[in-house]
Amino acid sequence: MIDVVFKLENSNGIYFSPDPLPVTIALLNYSTGNSDFNLVFTLVNDRVDSVRTFEITKANIFIESNEKITKTLKFSPPRPGFYCVSCTINDRLIRSMLFGYDPEKTETRLTRERDFNEFWFQHNRDLAAVQPGYKMIKSDQSTAELDVYLVELMCLDICRSCGRVWSGQMLRRLTFAKVNRFLSYCDTFRWP
């Protein structure tokens, strides 16, 4: 019996360019006899709709009984994203792990459903019919340059949200946008 364990250089599995993606794999032979193993390591993308294999590395390894062998591979992902590294042993046992490679720089393809325009139009019309229920109280944190308001509003009549809205001289001149923060939520939106 053999077991495969991935050992991470970074505990979160996130790595950054231009360094390669290092993958360390420990192979443990729990059987009573010595064994030869054919290993195939592959680097593939994490997409379900279009799986692509970027690298394949093959190795033959001899492991004695109750021995552990460690092998480190360095993959070179073509661009930022998430990748799956798998280890296939003798065309049977497969172990895999997902790694992130510069995930902050990932550029995803935009998708748009065929009925998106209809959906957007309908929901905008529905939202326009809803009367906003909120309360704004000027805060004692306001200064001559900056107005701070405490805002309370109900969400779907079941949840009360509280937050602060900042409005300063610069923001007053830019009447198209104000910055709003609610607890851990931050959004930029238009005020009438």
Q: Which pLDDT belongs to residue 76?
A: 83
CA 41 – CA 95 distance, rounded (Å):
10
Q: Which pLDDT belongs to residue 164?
A: 57
Encoded tokens for 165: 């809205």
Dihedral angle computed from the Cα positions of residues 62, 63, 68 and 69, in that order, rounded to the nearest 10 degrees: 0
Number of neighbours of residue 23 by Cβ within 10 angstroms: 23
Is 6:23 a contact under the CB 8 Å cutoff?
yes
Give mean pLDDT in consecutive 10-residue pieces for the chain, a chain of 192 residues: 78 80 84 84 80 86 87 84 85 81 76 76 77 73 75 62 55 42 40 41
pTM for the full model?
0.51
Q: Which pLDDT belongs to residue 75?
A: 85
Is 31:2 a contact under the CB 8 Å cutoff?
yes
Q: Which pLDDT belongs to residue 175?
A: 40
Q: Which pLDDT belongs to residue 181?
A: 44
Query: 11 vs 14, 75, 100, CA distance in Å?
Result: 8, 18, 12
Nearest to 137 by CA among 157, 158, 165: 165
What lies within 8 Å, CB to CB, of 108 at 6+ separation is none
